[in-house]
Amino acid sequence: MRLELLRELMPGIGMVGLLTNPVNPVPDADGVLAAAEVLSQPLVVAQASTSQEIETAFESLLRRKAAAILVASDPFFNSRRAQIMALAEAHKVPVVHSVIEYAREGGLMSYGASIVEGYRRAGQYVARILKGAEPASLPVQQSAKFELVINLQTAKALGLEVPPTLLARADEIIE
């Protein structure tokens, strides 16, 4: 979905970069690869599992003409958010992630599962377990609520105009 949103924001975008962590393969990266194939979207992948590798991967994506970068959902990348945002700003490249804090801290856009909803569901599971439910008997649930956050300050700095249809779908707009 993040790739589709990026294409809506940047129609005719050429190469898109995908930053992944080889130590922790995540399903959302596979989803981006599958979506790129279906959409015939040129996509280049770079991997990083250390801070130094993030810089190298970023440079590699830009050398390979990535017009924007999607960052895979990964705890390591979440912990390196400031580094990724600094690289994005220095190179003036749009970055899209699944975690809201990226957009709040200068990333162009985020689209992902609601963290608040996840905590609410976790609390419900804990309550059921405390009332005697067997943890193994509880169903695994996927997120049902996803949030789109768009940083208009970053869009403006990048010379991008966000279409009104995309703004209307946003859960949060940072001005």
pLDDT tens sequence across 75-112? 899 899 999 999 999 999 999 998 888 898 888 999 98
The residue range of the domain holding 125 is 115-144
Q: Are residues 132 and 150 in the same domain?
A: no
Q: Are residues 18 and 84 in the same domain?
A: yes
Q: What is the pTM of this model?
A: 0.84
pLDDT score for 114:
67
The pLDDT assigned to 146 comes to: 86
Q: Which residues pair with 71 in a beta bridge?
A: 19
pLDDT-based confidence at 144, cuts 50/70/90? confident
Q: What is the pLDDT of residue 140?
A: 83
Q: Is the pLDDT of residue 142 over 80?
A: no
> Are residues 150 and 121 part of one domain?
no
pLDDT of residue 45: 94
Residue whose pair of structure tokens reads 């190298």 in the numeric block? 56
| 167 and 103 assigned to the same domain | yes
DSSP of 76-141, one letter per residue? HHHHTHHHHHHHHHHHT--EEESSHHHHHTT-SEEEEE-HHHHHHHHHHHHHHHHTT--GGGSPP-
Q: Looking at the structure, tell me whether residues 107 and 30 fall in a common domain.
A: yes
Residue 111's DSSP bridge partners are 148
Average pLDDT across the chain, whole number: 90
Looking at the structure, tell me whether residues 27 and 79 fall in a common domain.
Answer: yes
Residues 83 and 160 reside in one and the same domain: yes
CATH number of the domain to which 62 belongs: 3.40.50.2300
69 token code pair: 């970068």
How are the residues of the chain apportioned to helix, strand and coil, as percentages rounded to the nearest 5?
50, 20, 35
Q: Are residues 94 and 132 in the same domain?
A: no
| Backbone dihedral angles phi then psi of residue 68, each to the nearest 5 degrees | -160, 160
Structurally, the chain folds into a number of domains equal to 2
Query: DSSP code of 171?
Result: S
Q: Are residue 44 and residue 101 in the same domain, yes or no?
A: yes
Helices 81-91 and 51-63: crossing angle in degrees, nearest 10, is 30
